[in-house]
């Protein structure tokens, strides 16, 4: 997954590839199926890859909304009724696609809502066309990004709020390697005035592997360093993509802190999958699984334990989870880890075949098929 905020990372062990069969939630707790948004607060869009769900509408988001309303062509009708039209009128779907492809609906929350409505139709032809349109729009967006250091810094430091966010979100890899650019991003991430831009800066920094960025992220996650919960979660998301002793210790501390925000804990539990399976890491994951009430924290903790199933004590914990957890998703996840880790596979599969959950029984059959 690209900059997907809950991605454990390309360096994670291959075992985690099977999680796509199981996951009912992400590190940020957003359900996998896209949820349709009805303007006025009756739902929410699924955030795009690499984004975080907002807890409240920011000034930048309100500006996006005003821009989108102004850009909505008259023949599309009232935006407040557009979701219903797309759901019931196939011609409205293609009309919306045409306006989207023509760039008449700017990048922002309203575009995300429109995409969610189109995907929710389950209209195969519309969804296939939508994916082509989105790829083309994203390609054009990155082609228009500043191509030189001076242009990027100018956009970051003196552009409008929308221009700064766009510049940050589309930074080219070669420019992210420059210390001047990373320094500008760190200044944005630490600024208290614009949480939306701070979050975007943190997510951009997550692509930079330098140790100074890791130290900066650790500072943002120190107790009391960041008061905005969404910005703090973005820092945890960025840290969850990094390896090393500092990243591991920071994620362990966040996961074990009873006062820490749930979004941060979800990312911390997920990010520990790519760390060395030290005693501290395993203890933090087992403690989160056993002590947290939030399902997504517990699920992510078990997913990370799956990555460390080479340890005998982790396999023993996974056996207990498989035998006792009330969630069929978590039991199926533990079963997957146990089967791939080896050992008494036949016993686990036989127990899964007798499980009360169809999901666990289907997972057992699927795992057997991959082994034959």
203-236 tens-digit pLDDT: 999 999 899 999 999 999 998 887 789 999 999 9
Q: Verify that 135 and 45 share a domain, yes or no.
A: yes
Q: Is residue 161 part of a domain?
A: no
Q: Verify that 8 and 56 share a domain, yes or no.
A: no
End residue of a domain, out of 143, 159, 189: 143
pLDDT band at 43 (very low <50, low <70, confident <90, very high): very low
For residues 353 and 156, what is the distance between their CA atoms, to the nearest angstrom?
A: 57
- Predicted confidence at residue 342, as pLDDT, reads 78
Q: Verify that 2 and 83 share a domain, yes or no.
A: no
The boundaries of the domain holding residue 369 are: 1-27+245-372
Domains identified in the chain, total number: 2
- Predicted confidence at residue 21, as pLDDT, reads 29
For residues 27 and 50, what is the distance between their CA atoms, to the nearest angstrom?
A: 11
What pTM, to 2 d.p., does this model score? 0.68
Across all residues in the chain, what is the average pLDDT?
78
Q: Verify that 130 and 13 share a domain, yes or no.
A: no
End residue of a domain, out of 126, 143, 160: 143
**Least confident span in 38-42, 93-97, 193-197, 348-352:** 38-42
Average pLDDT value for residue range 307-316: 93
Cα distances (Å, whole numbers) of residue 333 to 138, 218, 248, 289: 34, 30, 23, 13
pLDDT band at 18 (very low <50, low <70, confident <90, very high): very low
End residue of a domain, out of 119, 143, 167: 143
Q: Verify that 292 and 340 share a domain, yes or no.
A: yes
Residue 207 phi/psi, 5-degree rounding, is -85, -5
């Amino acid at each position: 997954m690209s900059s997907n905020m809950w991605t454990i990372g390309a360096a994670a062990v291959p075992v985690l590839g099977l999680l796509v069969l199981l996951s009912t939630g992400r590190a940020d707790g957003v359900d996998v199926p896209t949820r349709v948004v009805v303007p006025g607060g009756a739902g929410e869009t699924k955030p795009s890859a690499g984004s975080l769900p907002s807890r409240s509408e920011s000034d930048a988001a309100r500006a996006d909304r005003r821009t989108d309303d102004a850009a909505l062509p008259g023949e599309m009708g009232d935006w407040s009724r557009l979701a219903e039209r797309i759901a019931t009128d196939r011609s409205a779907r293609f009309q919306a696609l045409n306006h989207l492809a023509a760039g008449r609906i700017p990048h922002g929350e309203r575009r995300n809502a429109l995409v969610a409505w189109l995907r929710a139709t389950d209209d195969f032809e519309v969804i296939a066309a939508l994916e082509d349109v989105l790829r083309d729009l994203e390609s054009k967006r990155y082609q228009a990004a500043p191509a030189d250091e001076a242009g990027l810094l100018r956009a970051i430091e003196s552009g409008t709020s929308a221009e700064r966010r766009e510049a940050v979100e589309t930074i080219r890899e070669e420019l992210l390697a420059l210390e001047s650019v990373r320094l500008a991003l760190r200044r944005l991430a630490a600024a208290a005035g614009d949480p939306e831009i701070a979050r975007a800066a943190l997510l951009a920094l997550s692509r930079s592997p330098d140790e100074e960025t890791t130290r900066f992220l650790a500072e943002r996650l120190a107790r009391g360093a960041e008061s905005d919960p969404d910005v703090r979660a973005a820092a945890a998301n960025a840290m969850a993509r990094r390896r090393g002793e500092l990243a591991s210790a920071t994620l362990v501390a966040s996961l074990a802190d009873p006062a820490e925000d749930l979004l941060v804990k979800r990312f911390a539990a997920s990010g520990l999958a790519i760390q060395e399976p030290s005693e501290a890491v395993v203890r933090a994951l087992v403690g989160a699984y056993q002590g947290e009430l939030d399902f997504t924290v517990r699920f992510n903790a078990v997913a990370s334990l799956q990555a460390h199933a080479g340890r005998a004590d982790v396999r023993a914990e996974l056996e207990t989870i498989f035998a006792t957890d009330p969630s069929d998703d978590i039991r199926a996840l533990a079963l997957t880890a146990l089967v791939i880790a080896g050992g008494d596979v036949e016993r686990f599969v036989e127990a899964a075949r007798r499980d009360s959950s169809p999901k666990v029984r289907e997972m057992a059959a699927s795992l057997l098929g991959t082994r034959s």
